[in-house]
Amino acid sequence: MSELQNKADELGGKVKEAAGDAVGNEDLENQGKGEQTASKVKQGAEDLKDKATETLGKLTDK
């Protein structure tokens, strides 16, 4: 998944959270919070993968 897709998922989660808060729907609000957290975890994993690939590339170039 791309960084752009992760940001879109995070934004969708924020919208759900705000909508749930606005109408008093706690389940929708919590679902939005969960989607935001999931997108941040995915992005963190992708960042870690990129750093590991970069580091491995530097080690193999020597």
Question: Model confidence over 22-53: pLDDT tens digits?
Answer: 999 999 999 999 999 999 999 999 999 999 99
B/e letters for 17-39, b = 16+ CB within 10 Å, e = fewer, are: beebeeeeeeebbebbeebbeeb
CA dihedral 38, 43, 49, 51 (to 10 degrees): -140
Q: Which residue reads 């929708």 in tokens?
A: 28
pTM of the model: 0.80
Token pair recorded at residue 29? 């609000």
Other Cβ atoms less than 10 A from the Cβ of 12: the count is 14
